[in-house]
Each structure stands twice: as structure tokens, then as C-alpha cells.
Structure 1
Amino acid sequence: MRHPRRGRNLALVVAGVGAIAVLVAVWLTRLNRPGNVEVILGVIGLKVSLVATVLTIVYHVRVVRRYDRLVRGEGVLARWRIEPERWRLCREAADALARSPQALPNELPLPPEIPAAGIEVILAADAFCVGPEFEPLEKSAVVQLNGPVLEIQQRVPQTRHSTRLAVYRLPAAENREADVARLAARFAQRATHSRTLVRKVALVALVGSLGALVWLVMWVMSVAKRG
């Protein structure tokens, strides 16, 4: 992804629109005799705001915060620069791997050419960047070297109860076998964003949702009495 903050910002805007809809519904019920339109507007606005707020929090924790840490150079395990000639070699090798029997496609876009100054590859325990392309990494990620290609495999969420295998083939630096071995060992033992953090986020979202639900029930009851 080239714009890690875009998803979070979009969810934040949607949450704001939902909150405005709730405020408008409450304001209308105070000005006029409450009706179905105001109640429907308030219920839909609150639901949209809650869902979008949860998405904003999750996206910020799992994507944006990792990107910001990587940009600041925090937690970087390896960093190297790929020259255009090496890039073309790596790209051809990555395409050949993708054409192998039962091989999964490369989910990292590799343009045919890069700037003459080369392109930087940055790898951390929980994310990586190849030039402008950024991808977060899960705890299931494993690293291996296939010729001039550094291959990362991980299981990513597909639905609420299922995952799928994703493959990213990065251009590897020359003569870095020892570094790749160190990376593989580090990925096998690493402890990135733990489940405890995810559970805390889910708990905060649940408490907020329950509080909003109680407020909604009380508001609908008050509107019904006034009607």
C-alpha cells in the first residue's frame, strides 16, 4: 500500500459524519415533535459512528503506527539500497518464482524500472517498505532467501474466522546471506504487537459500544414519551 494513513483517515471521516447525524437528530427532536425520521437518523448515525470508530482504532494500531515507527527508523532489522541493474535481476527472478507450479502471486508491486539513484528496502519485525510501498507484517510471517529474492510469507485475515497465505517477494541485497539468516531467526522468535494489545483495543471498543447503546435506548425512550 502506498498510502497507509488513507484508510484510517477515511474511517475517521465516516465516524465524524455519523456523529454529526446523531447530533442533528437530537437537535431536531428538541425543535420539533419527534418522529420516525429523527429516530432513524439517530440510530443509523450512531451505528455508523461506532463501526467507523472501531475501524479507525484498529487501522491506526495495526497499520499507521507501524508505518510511523518504520519511517522514524525504530525497530529496523535491516536496510539496504537496490540499484537499477540489481532491481531488474530481482524482478525477473520474482516473476520466475511466481510462474512456478503451485506458487502464489507476488502481492508486492514491482515496477519494471526504478530511479537511477536506486530504491531503499527497509525491514522491521512488524512491517517493511520497498520504496513507497509499505506492508504490515503479522506474527506468522517467515522469511527465506530464494536467489536474489527475499520472500516473506504470512497468513493475513480474510474473514472474521479465516486467513489466507500471502507472499511478498522483495529484492535482496547482494552478499547478505548472513543478514538473511539473522532475519529468519529474528522472525522466528520475535514478539511484535501482542494479542494483549489487540484485546485491549477490542475491550475499549466494546465498552464504548455498550455505553453508546445504553444512551441510544434512553434517547429513543425519551423520544417515544415526548411523541
Structure 2
Amino acid sequence: MFDYIRSRNRAAVVFMISLAVFVPALVMPRSGEDLVVRKMILFLSLGAMLISGVWLIVRWDEARRLMRLRSGEGVLARWMIDPARWAWFRHHSNEWDKLENVRPNDADLAQPPGQAGIEVVVTRDGILIGEDFRPLEKDVGITVRADWIEFYQIIPKADGPPLHMVLRLPLQPGSESLAAEVQQAYQRAYHAAKSSRHPAIYVLLFCFVGLPAVTLLIWYVAKVTGWTE
């Protein structure tokens, strides 16, 4: 089972190590003898720093969602699935996964429910099924059936086809209204985000302010340290 907090911590360690290598290699006095080695260290550490920085930003956001959920912040619905219903749904889900044109269920139904069963907690940006946490975006598709609910999320990739995440899980009798409330809450959040101009403003600020500022900073440091004439 994926551990978002541990992954965030690993990304932070890699970022700090690459930063600790990059900065001394950049600012220490140069000499002709070690110039080739210094350039290689600079390029490798800079690449590691950029990649781990993006990794850290993504994992930091996911870990923050999980910690907010565990603290009870922004909870939309919470219900328990008893062991008998969990086993019943797991059997049916395994059969559905064998059908053509049906995407397999990505929820970890192999979890042992224990005597109390499995708790499901849904917030505005994530879902926790037992110990299985998944981030959710505002555009997630939610289908509510008589006795189960499905979350369908398309995750774009920089290259190649997008990833498809499907989470199907049972509803305990009496929790059908909670599922409908979750569906309506995400629909309202999606329409509100769609009509908002804030994301476009953030993109424009990043392109026309953030990138030039970072480029200018790198050039200035390189100029001061003598890497550019």
C-alpha cells in the first residue's frame, strides 16, 4: 500500500541532498583543473534538484490532504462497512474485473476488515478506504448505485496516455444518502472551479513572473560566481 507521507519525506531528503551538492559546487572558487568535474556535478545535481523538487511538491500536496483527512478537516461523509458486506463486495468486484470493457477496481479490497469492519472517509480532495488513501480532484466522476459507489478519475501524463483510476466500494445499508451528498458536493465544487478564473491567473503569473524570476536569479548567481563572463 502506497505511503504518501513516507514518499514526501524521501522526496525532501533527495531535494536537500542535491541542493547541498549543487550550492557548494556553484559558489566555491574555480580552478582549471577541476572545471570539467565541477560542471558535471553542477548539471547532475541541478537535474536531481529539479526532478526531486517537482516530486516533493506533488507528494507534499498529497500528504497534506491525507493529514487533513485524518484530523477530520473537510470530511464530507464517513461510514463503516461490516466484514460480511466487505467480503460480499470483494467477491463481486473480482468477478466484474474479469469482464470486457470494465476497468479493474483500484481500491485495495484485499485489506482484512477486522471485527469492526472497514471505515470509509471522504473529504473534498481525497478518500480513505481503511488504510488505502487516494487523492481526488474536483473533476472526479462519481456514480452512485443502490448498494455501491464508484469514483472515476482521469490522471493526465506529460507523455503517453493518461492514467485511469477506478475506485468501487460498497455502501452500508443506510449510507446511501451520504453517497448522494458526496456526489453533489463534488459536482458543486467542479462547477465553481470551472467558472473561476483563479487557475488561469496562477498559470499566467507562473509563466510571466515566476519563470523569468527564477531564470534571472540563476543568471545572477552564475554571474557573481564567475560562471558567466
Q: Residue 166 of structure 1 corresponds to which residue in structure 2?
A: 165
Structure 2 regions of 5+ residues with no counterpart?
Answer: none
Pair 169,217 (structure 1): closer, same or farther in 2 beyond 3 Å: same
Deviation at 1:30, TM superposition (A): 5.4
Deviation at 1:78, TM superposition (A): 0.6
Structure 1 regions of 5+ residues with no counterpart?
Answer: none
Letter in 1 for 2:81: I
RMSD: 3.1
Quote the Cα distance in structure 2 between the aligned partners of 1:179 and 1:91.
21
Q: Residue 82 of structure 1 corresponds to which residue in structure 2?
A: 81
- Between 1 and 2, higher relative CO (CA 8 Å, sep ≥ 6) is seen in 1
Q: Give the TM-score normalised by structure 1.
A: 0.82
Contact 1:127–1:134 (CA under 8 A) maintained in structure 2: yes
Quote the Cα distance in structure 1 between the aligned partners of 2:215 and 2:75.
39
Q: Say yes or no: does 1:94 pair with 2:93.
A: yes
Structure 1 residues 159-168 or 203-212, which shifts more?
203-212
Q: Say yes or no: does 1:60 pair with 2:60.
A: yes
Q: Residue 211 of structure 2 corresponds to which residue in structure 1?
A: 206
Letter in 2 for 1:158: K
Deviation at 1:140, TM superposition (A): 1.9
- Aligned pair count reads 223
SS state at 1:150 partner: strand
Deviations 1:59-96 (A, max 9, x none): 312x1121111111111111011121111112122223
What are the equivalent positions in structure 2 for 1:8-47 lying under 5 Å apart? 8-26=8-26, 29=29, 34-47=34-47
Structure 1 residues 122-131 or 180-189, which shifts more?
180-189
Quote the Cα distance in structure 1 between the aligned partners of 2:217 and 2:96.
51
Deviations 1:189-222 (A, max 9, x none): 21599684697498286366424531464267x1
